[in-house]
Amino acid sequence: MKKVVIFGECMVELVSTSATDLKKSFAGDTYNTAVYLKRNAPGLSVSYLTAIGEDFLSNELLFAMGEEQINTDQVYRCSKRNLGLYMVRTDSHGERTFAYWRDSSAATQTLNVMTQAPQDIDLFYFSGISVAILDTAQREKLFELIATLRNDGCQIVFDPNYRPRLWRDKQEAQQWMDKSYQAADIAFPGGDDHLALYGHTNADDVLSHLTPFGIKEIVMKNGAVGVHIVNQEGQFIVPVQTVTNVVDTTAAGDAFNGGYLAARLSGKNVTESASFGAMVAGIVIQHPGAIIPASVLANAVMPFSS
C-alpha cells in the first residue's frame, strides 16, 4: 500500500446558504486534496499532518477525518489554540468572497508540536498556504523534513496556492515559493497565482520560470485553456470540458490535484490523470462547499482500485 502524507491546515468552513443561515463543515486547500485523493484512490494510505486544538470543533474534525478514512496519526494537539475559521459567500457565477479568522490557529504551530516526523512514505504534499502560515523557524524545519524525505526516495508535490494576505509582501512570497518549487518533484502551478505573484501572463512565462528548478512533472492549471503538462516525455495540453452549471469554485484546484494524484498513483499517465482530475473538479464545482457529499462523487466517478 502506497503511503501519502499531506501537510497543511484544515479550518472550520461556514458557507452562507441564505441571508441568515450558515452551514458548518471542515475544509482547507490541502485537506480538500486529501479527501478527494482518498475518495478516488481508497487503496492508498492517506495521512494528514497538522495541529488542532482540544476544543469540541477540533474533536469534530477528527471524527470527520475518520469518516473520510484519512489517517490521524500525524495530527497533533495544541492546548492553547484552536481551529482557524473562514466564511465564504458565493455569487451567482460561483465566484467566492472570503472572511478569515485564523490568528489562533493550531496549525500554525504544527512543526513546533510535531513529535514524530513522517517516515517511509511514498509521497509528501504541501502548498504555499502550508508554508505561509508558519513562522520562519518552522519554515526552515519544514524544508529540512522535505530534504530528508526526498533523500529517502519520497516524491514531493507542491501547489503554490498564493494568498497575498498570508505573506508580508510579494518578495517574501516569491522567495519561499521558489524554494518550494526547487524542492518539488511534481508541481501544480496555476495561471492566476503566477499572474498575481510573478506577473506571468501566459503558460510560456510560467514554464520558463519553473524550468531551472528541475521539476520532473509540471502540471499547470490554466482555466478554460486547459492543463499544460511538462515532463521528461515532452509537453502536453489536455483540454477540459466547460462546466455550465457552476455553483461554487471553492475547491476546484484542490479537487483537481486530488483526482490527478489518485490517477497517477494508480498507474495512469499524465494526460489520463489530468483528464480525470478535471472531471473530478468539474463535478465538485457544481455543488456548494469545498467538500461535496461522498455519494455525489461516487455516483459520478469510479474510484481506482488498489
pLDDT tens digits, one per residue of 255-291: 999 999 999 999 999 999 999 999 999 999 999 889 9
- Answer whether 177's CB lies under 8 Å from 188's CB: no
187 CB contacts (<8 Å, ≥6 apart)?
A: 157, 158, 159, 160, 181, 210, 215, 217, 218, 219
Query: Rounded to an integer, what is the distance from CA 32 to the centroid of its chain?
Result: 6
- Answer whether 132's CB lies under 8 Å from 186's CB: no
Burial (CB count <10 Å: 0-12, 13-18, 19+), residue 270: buried
116 CB contacts (<8 Å, ≥6 apart)?
A: 74
Q: How far apart are CA 87 and CA 266, in angstroms?
A: 35
pLDDT tens digits, one per residue of 202-259: 999 999 999 999 999 999 998 888 999 999 999 999 999 889 898 888 899 999 999 9
Q: Residues 29, 159, 193, 254: which is the catalytic one?
A: 254
Known catalytic membership, residue 152: no
Domains plus CATH for the chain? 3-297 (3.40.1190.20)
Q: What global pTM score does this model have?
A: 0.95
50: β partners: 75
Instruction: Choose among 203, 134, 131: nearest CA to 162.
Output: 131
pLDDT tens digits, one per residue of 118-167: 999 999 999 999 999 999 999 999 999 999 999 999 999 999 999 999 99
The answer to which of 58-72, 149-163, 165-179, 280-294 has the lowest mean pLDDT is: 280-294
Query: Rounded to an integer, what is the distance from CA 205 to the centroid of its chain?
Result: 23
**b/e burial code for range 123-148 (CB count within 10 A of at least 16 → b):** bbbbbbbbbbbbeeebbebbbebbee
